[in-house]
Structure 1
Amino acid sequence: MPALHDHAFETVDAPSRAPKSAARGLRINYLEPVGDPGLGGPGSLAWKVFHNPVAKATGGIAAVILELAEPSVRAGVWDHSTFKVDPIQRMRNTAEAAMAVTYGPEKAARMTFERVTRMHERVSGETHEGRPYRAMDPALLTWVHVTAAWGFLQAYIRYADPDLSRADQDRFYREGEIKGKGFGAEWVPTSADEVDAYMATMLPKLYANDTVQEFLKIVGEATPFGRAGQPLQRLITQGGIDLLTDEMRKACGVRVTHPLGRRGVRAAIGALSATARFVARRSGNSPAELACRRMDVSTDCLYPN
């Protein structure tokens, strides 16, 4: 499933050539070819939504909670993922794969789709309840696509652009159709109303289970900064839970347990998000910023209007 799949992307810098990302033989140069907009380009909502690391982190956690609460995706993701063994690398791999299809040139995005599809074709089995599933089931791929898109967009609205119009939300989902189908879905909703209606039909199929709780425990402790970074990681994890609606939290068996409470969690993550935006404006070497250089546009396109 795309949200937790095994992409071994890592950023590398070579003094004699443009910064690239490597993925088991696939090298992505975000600076070339010049003028290639990829699947979205600087005018897309995706370039804005995926640029804020805090929004990506909380939105990603919300998405995975929803995915793991669906029986077939629970088995397909958890039983065929190395998340339990190396969660930090898994989160890094997943984030950088998302960067490839969002900010990379079109050829790199298409190659990413192909690699994911090849991995999906090898994944099948039985759910924890004994029902057969296969990862290439288009219905499951729709669920994974929608949960990811919904989670990232909700996080972006809450922590980056609370005034984002419904029309722009529609545009984000419409833009994402090419990614959903690229990963194997046959149909994906392309408006906020369609997403809301689809999520409502899926809600009765979700259930609380041990895998969701195990995921939250692992992700709450997984940080490259060791114990010193765990309080921040737990805050982000609680922020992901808080993004879910009351009905979603009940169906998935999760709740916000942070001592700060829901309001405190939102305030703290809001401050963290503002800090992340400040730092991002000064980094200059992220995939998003390299893509702006490839398109010869200002990085202003990466921020809310």
Structure 2
Amino acid sequence: MDTSPGGGRNLRERLGSVLFDRVAGPSGPANRARIHNTPGPRWFDPDRPIRTVHGDASMFIGGLSALLLQSLHPLAMTAVAAHSGFRGDPWGRLQRTSTFLAVTTYGTAQDAQLAVERVRAVHERIRGTTAAGEPYRAADPHLLGWVHAAETDSFLRAHERFGARPLGAAGYDAYVADAARVARALGVIDPPRDRASLGDLLARYRPELRATPEALEAARFLLRHPPLPWPARAPYALLAANAIALLPPWAPALLGLRPAAGPVNGVARLSGHALTRTIRWAMTPPPRA
């Protein structure tokens, strides 16, 4: 094993490159350059909490937790199962989502608006009927509100637990307010603007939630059969255990999951901190000489 400074730098670069390629896709380098280097006004100033949260390695855990939570709304899950191609092209879906988050969080205001308009155009085409005969459409503000609330809550919980620099109560209220700006642009009506109103909104959705066969199948795919090479499955299992632990207390049982408890939960949480520190180390460029 190469323990020289150069060897450590090479390991960091290789691991960072693999992670970035998975999350950002083949267009990742070009997208990153455009997002960060194009001059012009942004939706969010450099000191805004949304930039801190969305730029942290805790998003790896929060993103998986958000997918599990979002799947519990039957209409939203049917739309995903029927139209998103998450099983046939899971990495493509992840890359499109991560690019959207990056553009709206860090890109120019013009590029952020164009990204939102593209997503809204896709949503307008997605509609259908569930197996139970319930009509759905992806552009429904009520469904968009659920997806936004579940995502925002999951990202916030993950950063609060695993973020490099947790923000505190006022900072997380400001994060919810920042996320509301993107939600409104996507068509969400009156999104929550602080953590208390976010919790109230999630509670109002609770009677609508249940684990459909599509949700259970999605959970099996994401947790037991991820599209990963075998060497990556052990660290992914640690990520998954912590994503489950982040869910609201009532959610795991609906999906047939059992969060770690007692000392095992403590060990799992330590593994989550170790995992996010490793990802952060790999994806943060080393300081220039």
1:206 maps to 209
Query: Does the CA contact (< 8 Å) of 1:206 and 1:252 recur in 2?
Result: no
2:37 maps to 31
Aligned equivalents of 1:108, 1:121: Cα separation in 2: 20
Query: Does the CA contact (< 8 Å) of 1:223 and 1:233 recur in 2?
Result: no
Identical residues among aligned pairs (%):
25
Q: Summarize the Cα distance change of 1:29–1:11 in structure 2 as closer, same or farther, 3 Å threshold.
A: farther
Query: Does the CA contact (< 8 Å) of 1:9 and 1:97 recur in 2?
Result: no
Per-residue deviation at 1:186? 1.6
Residue type matched to 1:270 in 2? H
2:31 maps to 21
Count of residues in Structure 1 that have an aligned counterpart in Structure 2: 263
Map of 1:1-305 to 2, 5 A cutoff? 10=25, 12=27, 20-21=30-31, 28-33=34-39, 36-53=40-57, 55-160=58-163, 164-220=167-223, 221-223=225-227, 226-256=229-259, 261-282=264-285
1:32-71, Cα deviation, whole Å (9 max, x unpaired): 11xx352212111111111123x11211122111211111
Q: Summarize the Cα distance change of 1:60–1:79 in structure 2 as closer, same or farther, 3 Å threshold.
A: same
Per-residue deviation at 1:283? 5.7
Aligned equivalents of 1:131, 1:12: Cα separation in 2: 38
Aligned equivalents of 1:141, 1:122: Cα separation in 2: 14
Between Structure 1 and Structure 2, the one with more helix by share is: 2
Aligned equivalents of 2:285, 2:211: Cα separation in 1: 42
1:237-278, Cα deviation, whole Å (9 max, x unpaired): 2211110121232344432369x9322221101111122223
Query: Does the CA contact (< 8 Å) of 1:66 and 1:252 recur in 2?
Result: no
Per-residue deviation at 1:11? 5.3
Aligned equivalents of 2:35, 2:173: Cα separation in 1: 30
CA-atom RMSD in angstroms:
2.5
Residue type matched to 2:64 in 1? I
Q: Summarize the Cα distance change of 1:37–1:160 in structure 2 as closer, same or farther, 3 Å threshold.
A: farther
Q: TM-score, normalised by structure 1?
A: 0.79
Secondary structure of 1:262's counterpart equals: helix
Query: Does the CA contact (< 8 Å) of 1:157 and 1:163 recur in 2?
Result: yes
Residue type matched to 1:190 in 2? R
Residue type matched to 1:115 in 2? R
Secondary structure of 2:191's counterpart equals: coil
Aligned equivalents of 1:278, 1:186: Cα separation in 2: 38
1:298 maps to none
Q: Summarize the Cα distance change of 1:116–1:212 in structure 2 as closer, same or farther, 3 Å threshold.
A: same
Secondary structure of 2:188's counterpart equals: coil
